Each structure stands twice: as C-alpha cells, then as structure tokens.
Amino acid sequence: MVTQTPSGDREKVVSKLPAAVRQELKVRAAEHGIDIQDAVAQAIERWMTADVTRQPVPAPGAVPFATWLPEGVWGSLRTFCAEQKLPLVQGLVQSVQLWLTDNPSPRHRPVTGIPQRKVICNQKGGVGKTAVAAGIAQAYAEAGLRVLLVDYDPQGHLTDQLGMPTILPSKERDTLARHMCGEADSPIQELLVEVSDPRFGGRLHLLPACQDAFLLDTRLALSKLRTKESALEKALRPLEEDHDVIVVDCPPALGTAMDAALYYARRREGESTGVSGVVIPVQAEDSSATAFAMLNEQIQAMAEDFAMEIEYLGLVVNLYESRRGFVATSSLDNWEQLEEPRLLAVVGDLKEQREAVRQKMPLLVYAPDSEQAQMMRTIARRIS
C-alpha cells in the first residue's frame, strides 16, 4: 500500500519484513546515524543496480513494516521485481539484507590483529555442526574476508566434505594436535590448504583434520603445558594476523579439547561484544535439549573458573522438518522461546547440503542460490 504526502515528495509504503530483519535494520540504521527510511531507499537503489543473485530467500516470521520513501522508488521496485519474476516483498527483503551486508555494525570492527573467532560446538553428534561451520566460513570468504576453517574433529568430516585429504599422522608430519602439545617442528602455516573457487578469491583456507586428535585429551594431560586450556589458542596464534575470521568445527565431546576450544572463543580484552563466541547447532528433538544443557554447564563452569566471558552468539536449529510431527514442532517452539542464546536461524532438511557433500564441494559453490546457502549467509551476517 502506498500513501502520498501532501507535498508529494515522499510516499508512505506499507509492506512486510521478517521480524528479525526489521529489528536488525532498526538497530543498524541507528548505529550509522541515518533514518530507517533513508536506509531503505539506499537499499532498494543498490539492490536494483547490484550484480547479485536475485533468487527467492526464506522470509520466515514476516510482520508489517511501514516507511516513507522518495516518490517513485517503490514504483521502480515494483516494476523491477515484476521483470525479475519476484514477489514485491522478496525484493524488499533482499534489498534490506544487501544493505545490512554493505553496512556492518561499527561496534563489530575487529581489533587490530585479533580475528573474529566462531566456535561451532555441541557434544551431540549429527546435529549439523560441520554444515554450519563450513557454510558460514564460505559466506565470510564470499563477502571478501580472509577466513580460516579449522577441522578440530578427528573424524575429519569437514575435511572430507570439502574434498581435501586428512593429514596422515607420522613422525615426519606435524598436525594441529602436535602444535597444541608443543611437539611440532615446522610452522603451522604449512598445514593450510586453500579451498579454491573464484567466489572465494583465495581467501578461504582449511586446516585439515588428523586422526591423532582422537588422543588429544590424553596427550594434553600428559604434556608439560602449564595451562592445557590455552593450547588451541597458542597453536593458532601464528595464523591470526593473516585471517579476519577463524571458524572452528568442534568434535562431539566435552573433554579437555573442548575446554581449549571454549577458551579460544572467550571475549578478549578490547574486543567488541557479539563478535567472538560459540554457535550451537541443535535439532528440534528432545536429545538435543539434553545435550545443550550439558554443554551449557561446561561453558558456565569454564567462564567461572577462568573469570572470563564466553559469549553465546546463538543457536541454529538444523535439519528441521515440520512433517516429523509434534516432537519437532514443539521442540522448535521451545528453542524459539529461549532468550539466551538467541535463535539465529532454522535450516530445513533439504537436499542441497547432502548433494554437495556427495560431490565433495562447498555448498556455496554447488548450490549458491539454494535456501540452505542463503541461510548460511544470514547466519554469518547475524554474528558478525
């Protein structure tokens, strides 16, 4: 609906936006000191002229949204969306999302030399930690950031899914575990491999898995390290200046290795809030709630023991399918009602991720316009 002002220079537009996107727009516009109406006008003009994919994206929880736009802007958007065969609301959603990507929060500018650290964890297996870790890492690299993706799980699912070989343990070859235990002889940079695709522009690197990490808890216990919990940070520190974001795909465990990952996720001195911390993938079923409670206890104990802050960046409900019935829908309701951690996204149980794994290709390369790929971009944007 469009209502013209008496002067005719602006039109009141009434449409819809997902509630989370509307709130994010409100906060971001305030942070940049501009009116929401000006931000939306900029967003629409940019989206219509940008070289971006214009496929439908998920827009759950759409609520009424009203603003004032310069005369003709809404009409231009309507015409453009018709040419692109997209619903008008989709055009608005995509415009605002692009503006949010182009205008990151000034609160989250990284401290010099300290990358954002996203630790993807849950002691329950099969909830999609690897898919979320790989997806957001690809989204960051696609957006122009230098990204390190760490396969911290000795099972090596991440390394295998990206079509990379795991590191074979030998006396002559260093591994992440050897670096963590102070046993390495060569620079850790030598372990990195590039995830190569033009959309990543040489900005996405993987630290592959090695099976010697199956014994990491025991090796750390027997090592001469004074603080076992800082082992991962000490190992990765030489890589930090070369990367803007480091994403760690954790194993499904709650031992010393997990303590080291949580320590690495802590908020460092001078670092902005909402930048580094833990992302917890879960499923809409009862065992995920039990696993989350156990992980939460470990996080709280670590924070208290070391007098540090470990931020919850958010939850991702993964592999969701409402047709699984009451258990799935009621569990999703419970996750949505949590105030902390916040719910970042609900990712459906769709085929593209499984197909990408079968093809040993990154999701954003195999199916860049898929709903799952768009959700990974959304998650990345909401925690940066």
Among residues 17, 3, 11, which one has the least CA distance to residue 87? Answer: 17
Q: What is the mean pLDDT of residues 19-30?
A: 84
pLDDT of residue 179: 92
Contact call for residues 139 and 364 (beta carbons, < 8 A): yes
Residues 77, 148, single domain; the answer is: no
Which of the listed residues 102, 123, 142 is the one where a domain comes to its end? 102
pLDDT band for position 33 (cuts 50, 70, 90): confident
Can you say whether the dihedral through the CA atoms of 356, 361, 364, 366 is positive or negative? negative
Residues 74, 126, single domain; the answer is: no
Residues 371, 321, single domain; the answer is: yes
Provide the CATH number for the domain around residue 236: 3.40.50.300
pLDDT of residue 348: 84
User: Which residue range forms the structural domain that includes residue 75?
Assistant: 2-102
Residues 184, 93, single domain; the answer is: no
Which of the listed residues 102, 136, 153 is the one where a domain comes to its end? 102
pLDDT > 80? residue 56:
no
Going from the C-alpha of 92 to that of each of 45, 97, 156, 176, 375, the distances in angstroms are 11, 9, 40, 45, 17
Residues 30, 154, single domain; the answer is: no
Residues 162, 182, single domain; the answer is: yes
Give 193-250 pLDDT, tens digit per residue. Answer: 999 999 899 999 999 998 887 888 888 887 777 788 999 999 999 999 999 999 999 9
Residues 56, 192, single domain; the answer is: no
Residues 35, 113, single domain; the answer is: no
Question: What whole-number distance in Å separates Cα of residue 9 and Cα of residue 226?
Answer: 68
Contact call for residues 117 and 357 (beta carbons, < 8 A): no
Question: What whole-number distance in Å separates Cα of residue 75 and Cα of residue 225?
Answer: 65
pLDDT of residue 206: 97
Report the domain count for the chain: 2
Residues 87, 221, single domain; the answer is: no
Residues 133, 28, single domain; the answer is: no
pLDDT of residue 324: 73
Give 209-221 pLDDT, tens digit per residue. Answer: 988 878 888 888 8
Give 75-109 pLDDT, tens digit per residue. Answer: 999 999 999 999 999 999 999 989 988 887 766 55
Residues 84, 121, single domain; the answer is: no
pLDDT of residue 358: 94
Q: What is the mean pLDDT of residues 24-53?
A: 90
Alpha helices in the chain (DSSP H): 19-31, 36-49, 73-84, 88-102, 129-142, 157-161, 176-180, 216-222, 231-240, 256-265, 286-305, 326-337, 351-359, 363-366, 371-382
Which of the listed residues 46, 68, 102 is the one where a domain comes to its end? 102
pLDDT of residue 60: 64
With H, G, I as helix, E, B as strand and everything else as coil, classify residue 120: strand
Residues 96, 134, single domain; the answer is: no
Give 346-368 pLDDT, tens digit per residue. Answer: 888 889 999 999 999 999 999 99
